[in-house]
Structure 1
Amino acid sequence: MSVEIKLSRSNRTYRPIDPLAGKIIIKSPSSISHHGIYITVNGSVNLQVRGGSAGFIESIYGVLKPIQIVKKSVEVQPSGKISAGTTQIPFSMILNDRGKGKFYETFHGANINIQYLLNVDVARGYLHKSLSATVEFIVESELAIFPEKPISPEMVFFYITQDTQRHSLLPELKSGGFKISGRICTQCFVSDPLVGELTVEASAVPVHSIDIHLLRVESIMVGENIATETSIVQTTQIADGDVCHNLPLPIYVMLPRLLTCPTVFAGSFSVEFKVTILVTFQTELYTQTKSDPRALRKWVAMESLPLELVQAK
């Protein structure tokens, strides 16, 4: 005996004004009685402070009270019987039928988790265990900063030289110098790739690799303080080994949907993003200590830029 939820959309992606529809599939070797079949939608923002980002506050608060976005229950079928075999029961409901409330987009972060769950419950009384199943679906906001596609990406030019680095460099890098220029989109749709280009104009030391880091910046209001933590979402390598000088290299990074969302500034939390261009140079020191994350990375040059993600209509 089992119960399963099959949503109408294979990508499980909905907007608050869309009907959340699908089928409840019940498989039973014999007919069973029930006291009603219900579906419940539960959307919430789960916050936690960890990793020492808030110091002593972390030990006091830890996991914070979730922020309820939506909780809605609907009776799909009244009390009755379910025949033996496979039974399919259709359902449909609107998440935001009253047009009120703020629906944040689905996001799975390190300290902030915005999640929407659909639960089905087949009530069977006190003498029998209820049948239930849960499935996560993705919510995209119906609000957008830009009215329609296409938009002109906001391209920002950047330069990476020995003079732009705030950390210490190897003597041969600092004396010989290097210059890397390019441009990258710092405002784009969450469903579109991050694009740009990069050119190594000069370098006294051969390049080992060039990587693009996508970072999330999660901030949570804890009492009168703000706990902020920055973590890497994904790394994309755009060059392996020394590259030809003055040859533009394309930057093309696909954004992971569940690990990204439109930039959010809420009262008690915020989710922002950054993009870092990381250039690693070839040195004997790199070969000796690349397995040690605590080693001083004097053979690395980088540039970080804020990245604003928005949703399209």
Structure 2
Amino acid sequence: MEVIVESDKADLFELPVSPEMVIFYITQDTQRHPLLPELKSGGFRVTGKMSTQCSLLDPISGELMVEASAVPIHSIDIHLLRVESILVGEKIVTETSLIQTTQIADGDVCRGMTLPIYVILPRLLTCPTVLAGPFSIEFKVSIVISFQSELSKLHPKSDPRTPRLWLAMETLPLELLRTR
């Protein structure tokens, strides 16, 4: 049986959290992993902004725009990641879990068109960001652009967190807060 407990604590934020917007851009030069030769030579540029601090009750919001891309886009996805860490002796052990994927675009998108980002947080898989001494639970948001490639068809079941030749990604920290 799943149980959700909510309480009215005095130390909770009274006012709604105003989302902290972070501007991002994704190009062939911002990628730290190898890309397909046609992506490196032809180039691409995706820009946008996204909230990186929000209440558990509010969605992650923002927008993005594909300014240019030499290779057609297959899809644009937003991955919500949970990062759990614990200090063991002198080492920090970290485990990252993909907890939700939201598709923003399917197929090649029009250049210069603003696409909205609106991701509702899964209630049972998220909690406030916790930094408690040797233990922490944090969250990250990854914007993943998948380009059309024959190579991607050979690996349809690949882990979306793993950088691939046909993927471009940007990962942003996300702070979740509990509010009344």
TM-score, normalised to structure 1, is: 0.54
What is the one-letter code of the residue matched to 1:182?
G
SS at match of 2:77: strand
Tell me the residue number matched to 2:169.
302
Identity %: 66
Tell me the residue number matched to 2:6.
140
The root-mean-square deviation of aligned C-alpha atoms, in Å, is 1.8
Tell me the residue number matched to 2:178.
311
In 2, the alpha carbon distance for the partners of 1:291 and 1:252 equals: 26
Q: With a CA cutoff of 8 Å and minimum separation of 6, indicate the structure with the bigger relative contact order.
A: 2
Deviations 1:103-156 (A, max 9, x none): xxxxxxxxxxxxxxxxxxxxxxxxxxxxxxxx5432335232x3222x421000
What is the one-letter code of the residue matched to 1:311?
R
The correspondence for 2:28, drawn from 162, 172, 193, is 162
1:173 aligns with 2:39: yes
Structure 2 unpaired stretches of 5+ = none
What is the deviation of 1:191?
1.1
What is the one-letter code of the residue matched to 1:166?
R
In terms of mean alpha carbon deviation, does 281-290 or 247-256 score higher?
Answer: 281-290
In 1, the alpha carbon distance for the partners of 2:106 and 2:130 equals: 34
SS at match of 2:32: coil
Distance 1:293 1:262, change over 3 A: closer
What is the one-letter code of the residue matched to 1:152?
S
Structure 1 unpaired stretches of 5+ = 1-134
The correspondence for 1:203, drawn from 69, 78, 85, is 69
User: For the pair shown, which has the larger CA radius of gyration, 1 or 2?
Assistant: 1
In 2, the alpha carbon distance for the partners of 1:236 and 1:306 equals: 17
SS at match of 2:39: helix
Q: Which runs of 4+ in 1 moved over 2 A?
A: 139-144, 221-226, 288-296
- Counting matched residue pairs gives 177
Tell me the residue number matched to 1:36.
none
In 1, the alpha carbon distance for the partners of 2:15 and 2:6 equals: 15
In 2, the alpha carbon distance for the partners of 1:266 and 1:296 equals: 31
The correspondence for 1:267, drawn from 124, 133, 139, is 133
